[in-house]
Chain A
């Protein structure tokens, strides 16, 4: 099975990102990390590829920087990566991102496209769905469990009250939740091999996509944060503070 996994390099979530003052775009440092939630999609892809003697190709649209995040993904075992690092894609919206990734995936060929549910820096959460429409395939979203057999992929799809079992022919787009698999840790060998795995660069123009957007961010303002209240160290009696507060609020 030929598996495409969409991954994203993001600013380290431990240090909250900033927006540039002119366009309100995320300032992307040279050193970006692999979005942790992408590890799950990579794991699902690796398992499916291992079972079918297939390949896993990573697709990522972002400034490459030091490629730290991409190497982290390759170190898990993915075979190669296709990057779209293009100045004209700075500040691209979800639809442009989906068009670019779809064109790249289509050019390389695929049986299954795997993505996370939403990125940790953007949280738009619609790129897999947009890709499925562009590629004209089913969208198996919010998948918490994935199985394949006889050319069909079957998932447990989260719903507000539980889950539903959904079966689909291939090709398809699959968007997984972090519960779908426990991602493997890269081995030392994997980390060493990742340094020499092929990373192809392409551009929007080469993919025949002209970035457009029907929306513009006109302002970005800090939200007045909730004021932090009292923080106390538990000395064995801290529970009394909770009881007092619940009384004061007339909850009890």
Chain B
């Protein structure tokens, strides 16, 4: 059986998630990567070092990748046997996974946390409270959309992969969307996904200016700042801050949740943290169900006190 991995280029490198998927795939069989982006020998070598033996490279330029990438990837998979096709939870990953599954009539399992060569897939639903086991009952490939950090990225020192250039297919009106501008909303400080301490704010903060408190506390702890989907949707912080189902998955040593109720959407992205501290005025907030230390109180009082105490120590 062959294992396929979808990989997208993000800011000049293969996405962090693609290395996790390649490493997992390499533990099960021969790995072919379908790579979307400008690409480079360096990038392909890095994928090879993690276990990829073939890289199929498509550069979609300014065309929105989903339609042409799905058409080209489905073309390669049309000859596939009972293969596993691994995707991450990135936005383009999800676009391409959905389109490929529809094109091939293949099953798709989302929110996967584990997968075995016999095509048994474990996923979690309902805010991570129920573990679901899914078996594939049809022939042909299955799309498995996996949650970030489900697998560890391991550099096993593999050699450079064989790179196959893929021509941009003509997808007619499906491929009619173009990217006219790209904007980076940079965040300062440590990488949210790698930080040892994460300080996150929710609606309970009260307004975008209150995120200064989160930055101040994170700064004192050498941590990164995160937020809930609600505050990202409200425009208080950019999407790159979002922790949860549709955002980043973080597993820091310490996660400090401020003014966060603990909706399922959010909890799935942070419940893997070593220690969780929550501050919320609502004693019934579900976040207290996952917190190691819960403070029922006004974060606008408690957080400045913590900041002051930390400053006094320095």
Q: Do A and B come from one complex?
A: yes
Point out residues on A near B: beta carbons under 8 Å. 13, 16-17, 19, 24, 93-95, 98, 117-118, 120, 122-134, 136-142, 144, 154, 157-169, 171-172, 177-179, 213-223, 225-226, 228-234, 236, 238-243, 245-246, 249, 251-252
Q: Give the chain A neighbours of B40 by CB distance below 8 A.
A: none
Q: How far is the CA of A157 from the CA of B253 in the complex (A)?
A: 32
State whether A215 and B283 are in contact (beta carbons under 8 Å apart), knowing that A138-B67, A159-B91, A226-B271 are contacts in the complex.
no
Query: What's the minimum C-beta distance from A25 to chain B, rounded to whole angstroms?
Result: 11
Contact flags B287-299 to A (C-beta < 8 A → 1, else 0) = 0111111111110
Q: Which of B25-33, B47-55, B121-129 touches A?
A: B121-129
Q: Does B179 contact A (CB under 8 A)?
A: yes
Can you give 28 contacting A-B residue pairs, CB < 8 Å?
Answer: A95-B101, A120-B265, A124-B110, A125-B110, A126-B98, A129-B95, A139-B98, A141-B95, A144-B233, A144-B239, A158-B239, A166-B178, A168-B64, A177-B233, A216-B137, A223-B124, A225-B289, A231-B295, A231-B296, A234-B295, A234-B296, A238-B297, A239-B305, A242-B277, A242-B293, A242-B295, A245-B292, A251-B196
Whether A157 contacts B91 in the complex (CB less than 8 A), given A136-B174, A167-B178, comes out as yes
Q: How many residue pairs at the A-B interface have CB separations less than 8 Å?
A: 294
New A-B contacts (6) at CB < 8 Å, excluding given A139-B67, A221-B130, A229-B293: A132-B174, A161-B11, A168-B178, A179-B233, A216-B134, A232-B294
In whole angstroms, what is the CA distance A95 to B221 when docked?
A: 46
Q: State the CA gap A44–B120 with chains docked (Å).
A: 39
Interface residue tally on B, bucketed by range: 35 or more
Contacts of A230 in B (CB 8 A): 292-294
Contact (Cβ within 8 A) B293 A164? no
CB contacts (< 8 Å) of A127 on chain B: these are: 98
Q: Which listed residue (B107, B182, B298) contacts A93, Cβ 8 A?
A: B107
Which chain B residue shows the least CB distance to A251? B254
* A215 / chain B contacts, CB cutoff of 8 Å: 107, 109, 134-138, 142
Q: B97: CB under 8 A from chain A?
A: yes
| With contact pairs A129-B99, A213-B107 given, residues A234 and B297 touching in the complex (Cβ less than 8 Å) | yes
| A160-B70 CB under 8 A given contacts A223-B128, A223-B129, A231-B296 | no
Q: A168-B177, A251-B197 are in contact. Are A130 and B239 (CB under 8 A)?
A: no
Cα A24 to Cα B125 with chains together (Å): 12
A160, B10: Cβ atoms closer than 8 Å: yes
Inter-subunit contact B91/A142 (CB<8 Å)? yes
Q: Which of B138-185 contact A (CB under 8 A)?
A: 138, 140, 142, 145, 172-185
In the complex, residue of chain A having the shortest beta-carbon distance to the beta carbon of B306? A239
Q: Check if B106 is an interface residue, CB within 8 A of chain A.
A: yes
**Cβ-defined contact, B101 with A130, below 8 A:** yes
Asked if B111 and A123 sit within 8 Å, CB to CB, the answer is yes
Is B99 touching A229 in the complex (CB atoms < 8 A)? no
Q: Are the CB atoms of B302 and A238 closer together than 8 Å?
A: yes
Q: B259 contacts the other chain (Cβ, under 8 Å)? A: no
- B197, A17: Cβ atoms under 8 Å? no
Closest 6 CB pairs of A and B: A234-B297, A129-B98, A214-B138, A126-B98, A214-B107, A179-B233
- Cα–Cα, bound, A120→B109 (Å): 16
Residues in A whose Cβ lies below 8 Å from that of B277: 242, 245
Q: How far is the CA of A219 from the CA of B103 in the complex (A)?
A: 28
Name the A residues within 8 Å of B182 (CB-CB): 159, 162, 164-165
Contacts A133-B103, A167-B177 given: A178-B229 contact, CB under 8 Å?
yes
Q: Which B167-215 residues have a C-beta within 8 angstroms of A?
A: 172-186, 196-197
**Other-chain contact of A138, B64, B133, B256, B290 (Cβ < 8 Å):** B64
